[in-house]
DNA sequence: CATTTTTGAATGAATATTTGTTCATTGATA
DNA sequence: TATCAATGAACAAATATTCATTCAAAAATG
């Protein structure tokens, strides 16, 4: 009799995760058309054929990644923060600290941010504005915090959606830095907060 | 008799400029490997073969563009501003206004910024740190202004190079916005300045 | 417990497809 | 009608995908 089906299943899941995990960073760095299957396979350390055992095509692998980077946990956490009984200034501080920590600790967070932002930028082309993407939801909660801050007088004036866009844009910048530069020096949390806050003397 | 050589020369220069001008935005948006010659030609409104009358290869066209986007005028202007007898705060204000106006008025400025920043990000891979690129020079003058501002007390504390990087990073963000979104709403100059300034109450 | 047998994942050379480049022909102009 | 830029079908090179084969694990057998 052959290998136990159970063990086989385990191995499949393990390999599938390995491929996805390694591909996320590779795609984020090189883009879809900049990623050759031969290179990607070499980078993961598997044969080209193996990729096709787990995914129908390059396109499908990419789509699979897009499903995975829609991290509900992140959105949930921001939602909770949004409705906490805190000043907007405190919320922005907490959020900024958290985001920067994640950028530092979580190996693939930078790739997740980069891919999501790129998707948002290119969404304009495809006109698939269903408003339910990762970024779009992050924007919605951010707008709430910004509006609160504007009422409280701690956040600068201006279109809240534009300011939210600016804030997440700066996060995207540092995700790019982390992805591309070898010696990555973490941004200061203050710099990130300053995208929104009126700084008192 | 054929066309006059003079008229021919004129037409050649015209077509060459047209190709370069249209290609800059196309490459900035789609990247090198994301740009197909067939698509690019269609976008410009010429035949595929025509591209090869004017440029040896896709690679060469791309290199040609890289020469062109190293705009000495921009650097010269920043250099002049840097050594003007003004407060750093005023310099930052003038610069921010100027950059945003250029982003709005100059059709290909956004593409120039995007391509230069992408080159800077990827330079890490290739280790060609010759320190004479467009961005690198912009950084150098920016650092001077930031140092002045820190002495004067108007600019936040922190590594000046990192702050310069941050400032140009935000400009890059808005270049991306302009390139990708159809209905582009210009960033407020204040938002850009706030990357550096301590805002007094 | 050594050997055989069976299974399915892994592989990469072979093939299909896509994309870059060439070149013989066309068309516009003076 | 002589010239030369423009063109796109034909060709070459690069890249994605397939599939016949290899390999490693483990159950069955003596």
- How much is the pLDDT for B126? 53
| B 8-67 → A contacts, CB under 8 A | 31-34
Cβ-based neighbours of B187, under 8 Å, separated by 6 or more: A162, A166, B100, B174, B177
Yes or no: say if A93 and A175 are a contact pair by the CB < 8 Å rule: no
CB neighbourhood size of A69 (10 A): 21
Nearest CA-CA partner of B136 in B123, B146, B154, B126? B123
Each residue's pLDDT, cut to its tens digit, for chain B (201 residues) gives 445 666 677 778 889 999 999 999 999 999 999 999 999 999 999 999 999 999 999 999 999 999 999 899 999 999 999 999 999 999 999 999 999 999 999 989 999 999 999 998 887 655 455 556 778 889 999 999 999 999 999 999 999 999 999 999 999 999 999 999 887 777 889 999 999 998 755
Residues across chain B: 201
A82-112 per-position pLDDT tens digit: 999 999 999 999 999 999 999 999 989 999 9
B35: nearest nucleotide, CA–C1' criterion? C19
**List of chain A residues whose C-beta atoms are within 8 Å of the C-beta of residue B195:** 191, 194-195
B33 CB neighbours in chain A (<8 A) are 31, 33-34
Beta bridge partners, A155, equal A197
The confidence score (pLDDT) of residue B11 equals 76
Residue A34 DSSP class: T
For residues A173 and B162, the answer to whether their CB atoms sit within 8 Å is: no
- The yes/no answer on whether domain B70-193 falls in CATH 1.10.3470 is no
Task: Give kind and range of the element (H or E) at residue B167.
Answer: helix B160-180
**Nucleotide at minimal C1' distance from the B50 CA:** D6
CA distance B124 to chain A (A): 6
Q: Is B132 on the interface with A (CB under 8 A)?
A: no
- Are A65 and A24 contacting, i.e. CB atoms less than 8 angstroms apart? yes
pLDDT at A62 over 80: yes
Q: How many CB atoms lie within 10 A of CB A53?
A: 12
Domain residue extents for chain A: 5-68, 70-193
Q: Which nucleotides on chain D have any atom < 7 A from a protein Cβ?
A: 2-10, 15-20, 24-28
| DSSP annotation of A55 | -
**pLDDT, tens only, A18-41:** 999 999 999 999 999 999 999 999
Distance of CA B68 to the CA centre of its chain: 10
A15, A54 in Cβ contact below 8 A?
A: yes
**Predicted local confidence at residue B1, as pLDDT:** 43
pTM, to two decimals? 0.92
- How far apart CA A95 and CA B129 sit, in angstroms, is 35
DSSP state of A198: P
Rounded-to-integer distance, Cα A105 and Cα A128, Å: 33
Q: Which of B194, B121, B157 has the alpha carbon at shortest distance from A167?
A: B194
Q: Determine the topology of domain B5-68 in CATH.
A: Arc Repressor Mutant, subunit A (1.10.10)
CA of A4 to C1' of D30 (A): 23
**DSSP 8-state code for residue A200:** P
């Amino acid at each position: 009799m052959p290998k136990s089906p159970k063990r086989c299943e385990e191995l499949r899941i393990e390999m599938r995760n390995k491929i996805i995990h390694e591909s996320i960073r590779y795609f984020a760095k090189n883009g879809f058309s900049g990623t050759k299957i031969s290179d990607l396979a070499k980078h993961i350390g598997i044969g080209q054929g193996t990729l096709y055992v787990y995914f129908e095509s390059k396109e499908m692998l990419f789509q699979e990644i897009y499903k995975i980077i829609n991290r509900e946990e992140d959105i949930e956490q921001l939602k909770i923060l949004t409705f906490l009984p805190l000043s907007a200034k405190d919320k922005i501080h907490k959020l900024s600290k958290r985001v920067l920590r994640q950028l530092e600790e979580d190996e693939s967070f930078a790739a997740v941010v980069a891919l999501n932002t790129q998707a948002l930028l290119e969404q304009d082309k495809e006109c698939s504005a269903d408003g339910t993407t990762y970024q779009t939801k992050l924007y919605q909660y951010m707008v709430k915090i910004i509006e609160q801050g504007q009422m409280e007088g701690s956040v600068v004036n201006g279109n809240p959606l534009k300011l939210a866009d600016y804030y997440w844009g700066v996060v995207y910048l540092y995700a790019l830095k982390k992805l591309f530069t070898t010696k990555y020096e973490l941004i200061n949390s203050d710099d990130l907060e300053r995208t929104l806050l009126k700084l008192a003397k």
